[in-house]
Amino acid sequence: MLNRFSKATNPSILKAMAEPDTNIPSSYPPRYNPRPGNIFNKAQRTIINRYSLILLFLSIFAFSIAYQVRPTIFVNLGGGYDLPYLDNFAGEVRPNKITNQTEDTTDTPRGEIPVTTNDPGIVFSAAGKPLPEPIKDDYRWTKPRSIVLLPGVGAYPGNLTLYAAASPLYPHGQKVAVLLNGQDFTTFEVKPGVPQRFEYKYEATRFQGGNMAVELRVTPIGTTDPNIYSDSKSYYRDGMKLYGLWLEPEGGNIALPDPKTTVLLTVASMFFFWLLAYSGVKHSIAFGISTVFVLTLAIVLAIWRLELAIFTTRLTLVLVATGLALLVFDLLLPRLFQRWNLPLPGYVWTTLLIIFVAGMVLRGGGTLYPQTLIIDQRWHLNVINRILDEPGGIAYEYSNKSDSLVPGQWNSSAIIPYSPFTHFYLAPFAALPIEREVTVNLISIFLDSSRVFIIYALGVALGATINGALAGAALYLILPSTYLLNSWGNWPTTISLWLAVLYLTVALVNYERLKRPRIWIGLTLLLIITNLAYSVTMIFMGMVLYGWATGLFFFSGRKDKQARENGKLLFLSATVAAIGAVAIYYWQFIGDIIPTLNSFGQDFNQGKGLGLGERSFFEYLSVYLGNLSTTYGVIAVLVLGLIGAISLSKMGKGMTSKAARYWFVWVMVANYLLWSIAQWKIDMVDKQVWFIAPLALALSGQVIVSIWSNLETIVRIGNQTVWKLVGKITVSALIIWMSYSAFSLWIYRIFFARH
């Protein structure tokens, strides 16, 4: 197998990386490196062609026809899927679930109301016992003036139905005035107890364009019952319980499409085609794929209209942002790759762009879908909001140590610095005139999707073939753990790990040029930015760089002067970056080091873990391996990456390049194993898995290509035809399994997970 890797990996790649002023050998396909004028012409041809015109008319026609289907528009309140439709509502209630969460949502903007599963303002009898729920359905408390927004549903006559009950505080009930799009519609009285249905006809003229805003104004009838009391929150005194609201269409005239939704879906469809065509897909094939995209949107619009209408603006924004990114990438990255002598044939560039587009659509679309629950998003946005909106917000976050207290489940008073610098990095983007949760998530997803270019460069730098490096980059699209990280919304982890792999890749690619001041200074500044982003990543990078430098200086440096010199440069870069990060931010935690170490020492001496409880190593190992194989779906990539590490570390000519690859790869592996063992006692949420994932992908890509193409020559026993077929089946099964795991996880996180 090792011999096969030597054959599969052309040593001339190493020569090209080692000689910055030479061109890629002529045996490679021609390099893709367009001039700015060529990029403009390419964009013009992408937009102006007959397929664009046909798709434009097809989109308008398909979406107009879809609007003739009139589904029932239903909003079930309190079940965790109602937030995008609500304005000025209070907490939700789920009678069949129990929780201690009692957060006040009175002043929370629409779209940021937290999910709760009990009634914080539950009404008590005079004896202090809760009154029984009259019905075990989810509901949400209105405020005295609340609005249910139904965008993009179209204009047609039908029936408005409300399912509601009055607050038990008012035995005589409450009066509800209903306004449609700001115009008086009807009034009714609602009584406490079992919810009642209220149904009213409306005409198509009640719609504004194709949108409906149902405003509810609730006023009490009489006084409160003195034997019943509630807390002081106004919406528990004055609001009512709303269980559900729906629009049921009537037959008759042609339904009028919502102009905004139709235009946005048409623009999204056009950009989808342009993205494919610009990436290098033949126009006819791109048109066929885009036609399927249009028809899919039309079917969804006809059946799940409200669910799609709330997403059209964000979907279009993702596609437009992706198009702008393609232009920037096309202008910059091929030139950068040429400067670094990384091979970039046209088909590779096309494939990388397609992978990037797919990543932006899948990750960006899923993350920005209004129903998706991004777990840590609200906490991080609160920090960014303080930075942007509050006087002295930057100074407060800079000196705020409360976020640096270790997690509560650790049962420790220790402090681990939690840097606000990721929030500082994101704040300028959040200041743009777009919803902050949209811009910040979009930046995070953009960086995450662009990681495919870094993984490709990393694979080539490690000695993989062009196709091997490309395969590793492609695997990133279907790695389940990456989608899980997107759903967590842990932006410091995502951004700091992106910066870390960028540093390591640039250092490898420019290994022969580390002594150049511009390269060394640029890398060191990048490392300072990385260290400031997240302290855990700072520790990872310090261990890797010091380990890498030690191997080069003390071992490879015995025979190789350049390895010794580069070992010193890497050591110096890590040291200067650490000192810089401490001088800029971490200095204020120096006094907490000894108390923190003492606290940890006491916990360990008592046989306690940090946040994980007492368990044997084998119990931990079984859980950890289970997470790697099922929850994260990375175990196959880690195993293949290990095979690639064993193979690639013994391949190629040239002591310098071999030493750089060898020490880098195995120090990364050792760092991963060390932290995986440490997690037996320290709850780290497996961050070392995401840290090593790009390297594992870059190495596993070459293994997959070899298994697909040359398994029969690797095994060298039995029927060669059978082994060739086995190789293709094995790789196909792996891709199918990873794809299913990733996309089923993503669908679950978007449409079903509420925590």
CA–CA distance, 628 with 644 (Å, rounded to integer)? 19
pLDDT at 23: 36
How would you classify the pairing of strands 196-202 and 158-165?
Answer: antiparallel
- Residue 490, amino acid: N
> If one looks up domain 73-249 in CATH, what number appears?
2.60.120
- Structure-token pair, residue 542: 């310090």
CA–CA distance, 85 with 48 (Å, rounded to integer)? 38
CB 299 within 8 A of CB 265: no
Q: Position of tokens 């914080």?
A: 120
pLDDT at 367: 97
- Tell me the torsion sign for CA atoms 230, 235, 240, 243: negative
> How crowded is residue 304: how many other Cβ atoms within 10 Å of its Cβ?
11
CA–CA distance, 443 with 445 (Å, rounded to integer)? 5
- Structure-token pair, residue 453: 């270019």
- Taking CA atoms, 259 is separated from 180, 265, 314, in Å, by 19, 10, 16
C-alpha dihedral, 425 to 429 to 431 to 436, nearest 10°:
-110
Max CA distance (Å), the chain? 93
CA–CA distance, 85 with 247 (Å, rounded to integer)? 14
Q: What are the tens digits of pLDDT across the range 454-479?
A: 999 999 999 998 999 999 999 999 99
Q: What is the DSSP letter of 666?
A: H
pTM of the model: 0.90
CA–CA distance, 563 with 549 (Å, rounded to integer)? 9
pLDDT at 604: 60
User: 335 Cβ partners below 8 Å, 6+ apart?
Assistant: 33
Q: What is the Cα Rg of the chain in Å?
A: 29
SS3 255: coil
Q: Where are the alpha helices (DSSP H) in 585-633?
A: 593-605, 617-626
Low-confidence ranges of the chain (pLDDT < 50): 1-26, 98-132, 652-655
CB 663 within 8 A of CB 552: yes
- Residue 150, amino acid: L
- Taking CA atoms, 217 is separated from 175, 661, 703, 755, in Å, by 8, 69, 65, 31
CA–CA distance, 420 with 422 (Å, rounded to integer)? 6
CA–CA distance, 172 with 166 (Å, rounded to integer)? 9
- Structure-token pair, residue 271: 């950009």
- Tell me the torsion sign for CA atoms 503, 504, 509, 511: positive
pLDDT at 230: 57
Element (H, E) at 244: strand 241-249
CB 695 within 8 A of CB 665: yes
CA–CA distance, 502 with 449 (Å, rounded to integer)? 13
pLDDT at 115: 34
Left if phi > 0, otherwise alpha if psi is -120 to 50, otherwise beta: which for 718?
left
CB 155 within 8 A of CB 209: yes
- Taking CA atoms, 3 is separated from 9, 62, 703, 711, 721, in Å, by 10, 56, 13, 12, 20
- Structure-token pair, residue 352: 């990388």
Q: What is the DSSP letter of 556?
A: G
Three-class secondary structure assignment of 57-126: HHHHHHHHHHCCCCCCEEEECCCCCCHHHEEEEEEEECCCCCCCCCCCCCCCCCCCCCCCCCCCCCCEEC
What are the structural domain ranges in the chain? 33-58+259-342+344-368, 73-249, 381-435+452-598+619-751
CA–CA distance, 456 with 571 (Å, rounded to integer)? 26
- Structure-token pair, residue 479: 């790695």
CB 715 within 8 A of CB 75: no
Compute φ and ψ for 690, nearest 5 degrees.
-75, -25
CA–CA distance, 116 with 95 (Å, rounded to integer)? 11
Q: What is the DSSP letter of 362?
A: I
CB 577 within 8 A of CB 528: yes
